[in-house]
Chain A
Amino acid sequence: MADIPDAIVLKRDRDLVGRIWEPWIRRVVLLVLTVFLALALANVFGQKSATVERRSPVATLAIHAPTTLRSGLIFQARFRIVASQEIEQATLVFSREWLEGVTLNTVEPSPIGEASNDGQLSFDLGHIRQGQTYDLYLQFQVNPTTFGSRTQETRLFDGKTLLLTHARDVTIFP
């Protein structure tokens, strides 16, 4: 069998002895890839927005924002406050998890005042009349190096009186 090309082993390269498993590895990897893509289509990796609402006798706070993100993504969070009763001095306080590793690009409408409330960002929104709705839009971008899970807490105050606390879990994929 001198005419067999060098380095060709007929059992292995022609009869495929010991290579039966090769197509199966390919199929398994392609299956895993398909599952990964299906999960992506099912919004497992973001960034579809969802609304989570918290109520108190005085007000309702609904946050409409994605709960799953990826590093570098630009996203919007809408804070809707519906006043069931008069709120003299509405103030939203954001936990550090809202801004740690995330850039806040724009706030609309601009709050009357901004402050640090025990190290947490605080927006003074002013007076909200009974029955009125106040929408606050925040435009964010996840920093490219940020990833992991976190709980973002938002507290609504009337002056110094806590009206409600809103907490949501967010996952950021790398």
Chain B
Amino acid sequence: MDIAIRALILYLFVFLLMRVMGRRELSNLQPFDLVLLIVIGDALQQGLTQSDYSVTGAMIAVGTFAALQVLTSYLSYRVSWMRPVLEGHPLVVIQDGKVIEKNLKRERITVEELAEEARQQQISSLEDVKWAVVETTGAVSFILRKSS
């Protein structure tokens, strides 16, 4: 019982943390960020199952996380007003080759980082981009101008 409650509390805490950390941190995982994520997972485990080494305990913990994840996606799908709360909205950062600095600043993304993202998608110049959108996952989608 207490494992399920601990899992619920930690799920909500991590969910909140991931939402407020911003998309930039989630999309641009540097090697150090990856190590940090593993460390966070390890720290969570200590509080989750503590000294319970049983298979039952692990099943309760993992089952609770899975159930909460399904519930979250169900709520996001069924309840339209919860979708922005749970997932956020996309953010337009380029329109017609012009960078919208205000929107970049909001996600703490520099023009150089945006250009790097573009290069990774074989786009050499941001001026060729019709639309660039920071998606709710943190990934940046580029739509090229028709002439490009």
Q: Known A-B contacts: A8-B90, A8-B92. Give 18 more (CB < 8 A).
A: A3-B130, A8-B131, A10-B92, A13-B91, A13-B92, A14-B103, A16-B106, A19-B89, A22-B88, A22-B106, A26-B22, A30-B20, A33-B20, A71-B50, A72-B51, A144-B51, A144-B52, A174-B6
With both chains docked as a complex, state the minimum distance between the C-beta of B71 and any C-beta of chain A, in angstroms: 21
Report whether A25 and B90 are in contact in the complex, using a CB–CB cutoff of 8 Å.
no
A29 to B51, CA, bound (A): 31
Does any Cβ of B come within 8 Å of A23's Cβ?
yes
With both chains docked as a complex, state the minimum distance between the C-beta of B104 and any C-beta of chain A, in angstroms: 12
How many residues of B are in contact with the other chain, CB < 8 A? 25
Q: Tell me the dominant secondary structure on chain A's binding face.
A: loop
A3 to B131, CA, bound (A): 9
A29 to B12, CA, bound (A): 13
- In the complex formed, the residue of B with least CB distance to A147 is B2
Which 4 residue pairs across A and B have the least CB separation, nearest first?
A14-B92, A144-B50, A29-B20, A26-B20
Which chain A residues numbered 1 to 54 have a C-beta less than 8 Å away from chain B? Answer: 3-5, 7-8, 10, 12-14, 16, 19, 22-23, 25-26, 29-30, 33
Report whether A5 and B133 are in contact in the complex, using a CB–CB cutoff of 8 Å.
yes
Partner-A contacts on B (CB < 8 A): 2, 6, 16-17, 19-20, 22, 50-52, 88-92, 95, 100, 102-103, 106, 130-131, 133, 141, 143
Partner-B contacts on A (CB < 8 A): 3-5, 7-8, 10, 12-14, 16, 19, 22-23, 25-26, 29-30, 33, 71-72, 144-145, 174
A144 to B6, CA, bound (A): 11
- In the complex formed, the residue of A with least CB distance to B2 is A145
Most chain A beta carbons < 10 A, residue from B92, B103, B133, B143: B92
Report whether A72 and B50 are in contact in the complex, using a CB–CB cutoff of 8 Å.
yes
Given contacts A144-B50, A144-B51, contact A14 B95 (CB under 8 A): yes
A29 to B17, CA, bound (A): 8
With both chains docked as a complex, state the minimum distance between the C-beta of A165 and any C-beta of chain B, in angstroms: 34
With both chains docked as a complex, state the minimum distance between the C-beta of A15 and any C-beta of chain B, in angstroms: 9
With both chains docked as a complex, state the minimum distance between the C-beta of B130 and any C-beta of chain A, in angstroms: 7
With both chains docked as a complex, state the minimum distance between the C-beta of A103 and any C-beta of chain B, in angstroms: 11
A5 to B94, CA, bound (A): 12
A145 to B50, CA, bound (A): 9
